[in-house]
Amino acid sequence: MAKYCIGIDLGGTFIKFCLLGETGEATGFFQLPTPNEGGPDAVIQQMVGGAERLLKTNDVERGDILGVGIGSPGPLDLEAGVVRDMPNLPGFSNVPIRDSVGEALDMPAVLENDANAAAFGEHLCGAGEGLGDMVLLTLGTGVGGGIVIDGRVLHGAHGMGAELGHMIIVPDGEQCNCGQRGCVEKYCSASNLAQYAMEQVSQRGTGSVLAEVMQAKGSLEARDVQEALAVGDSLAGELWDRTMYYLALACVNICRIFDPDEVVLAGGMTKAGDHLIEPIRRHVSELNWSMSKPLTKIAIARLGNDAGVIGAAGVAMQEFQDSTANS
């Protein structure tokens, strides 16, 4: 009889669900709103109810489930299975989400950080499928990271590894929200690109597409830079290329440290497609050492918002399939 794991991806707005089969096929995707009233109990009830609905809709028996994997934003205590804090969800502090969900479903459960889950999802069924060593960079408001080595997620000794957005690449550089200076995130995130674009427009005045957009809207987003780039605005080109340079520098560091099969880029900025990949590859070639040509592939994530829920199920599959095999 085929066995499955349940994936649950807890976000501030939606909770996503899916089933992952032992052969690596993910099915049954759906989402429910994250209750913003009723505190942790309501959220856990929604997660449990969704998992039960997932089984029913897909005609899967409880006995065919090896376990449930839960992906959640941090900070988490992975070992204890506890969400320490959850942005946007009032009262969500030190919630033992793994055991609460696991006990309600009467299934073994495992908790994973959302960025790691997304990396593992891309490794299982996405851009990193079939590769042993893969590093994910998520380019959004911040820059997140997820690392898969020899097919396993790297957590670190205190569950705080893979914070690739907080690798320092400019000594005494821009002040980051994390308290450090010169982090990758301050040079490569979508929100930093927008902020830097507004500063540059203010300094340089009129004469660019970006300046016109800023005058019309009052502010700029990363997508405005991308759109101005698409119509050939030279200021947008300069700002975009600066971001690509620092991203490439981060990629070169990832290659020196991990030498992975692939660096996978995810998040809103990857909508730029070749406008993202090509300048990064060019800068990587220029920045890279002369000991070898760049051996690590740089690719765009393939699973979009489903990476996290698939990866959460995959982490459960690895954990509970292993433990079944060893018992």
Which chain residues interact with a copy of itself by CB under 8 A?
A: 75, 131-133, 147, 149-150, 152, 154-164, 166-171, 176, 178-181, 245-246, 249, 252-253, 256-261, 287-292, 295-296
- Min dist. Cβ of residue 129 to a copy of itself (A): 14
Is the alpha carbon torsion for 35, 41, 46, 47 positive or negative? positive
One-letter identity of residue 101? V
> 3-class SS at 105?
helix
Closer CB to a copy of itself, residue 185 or residue 233? 185
Q: How far is the CB of 83 from a copy of itself (least distance, A)?
A: 16
* Smallest distance from a copy of itself to CB 206, Å: 30
Q: 197-206: long-range contacts at Cβ-Cβ below 8 A with a sequence spacing of 24 or more?
A: 197/224, 197/225, 197/236, 197/239, 200/235, 200/239, 201/235, 204/235
Smallest separation, CB 264 to a copy of itself (Å): 13
Strands 109-113 and 134-139, by their bridges, are unpaired
- In the bound state with a copy of itself, the residue whose beta carbon lies nearer, of 44 and 167, is 167
Q: Please, which residues have CB within 8 angstroms of residue 256's CB and are 6 or more apart in sequence?
A: 289
Closest separation in Å from C-beta 307 to a copy of itself = 21
- In the bound state with a copy of itself, the residue whose beta carbon lies nearer, of 58 and 94, is 94
268 near 222, Cβ under 8 Å? yes
Nearer to a copy of itself, 130 or 232 (CB): 130
- 265 neighbors 137 (Cβ within 8 angstroms): yes
Please give the Cα distance from 303 to 121 (Å, whole number).
8
Closest to a copy of itself by CB, 168 vs 277, is 168
User: Is the Cβ of residue 65 or residue 147 nearer to a copy of itself in the bound state?
Assistant: 147
Q: How far is the CB of 34 from a copy of itself (least distance, A)?
A: 24
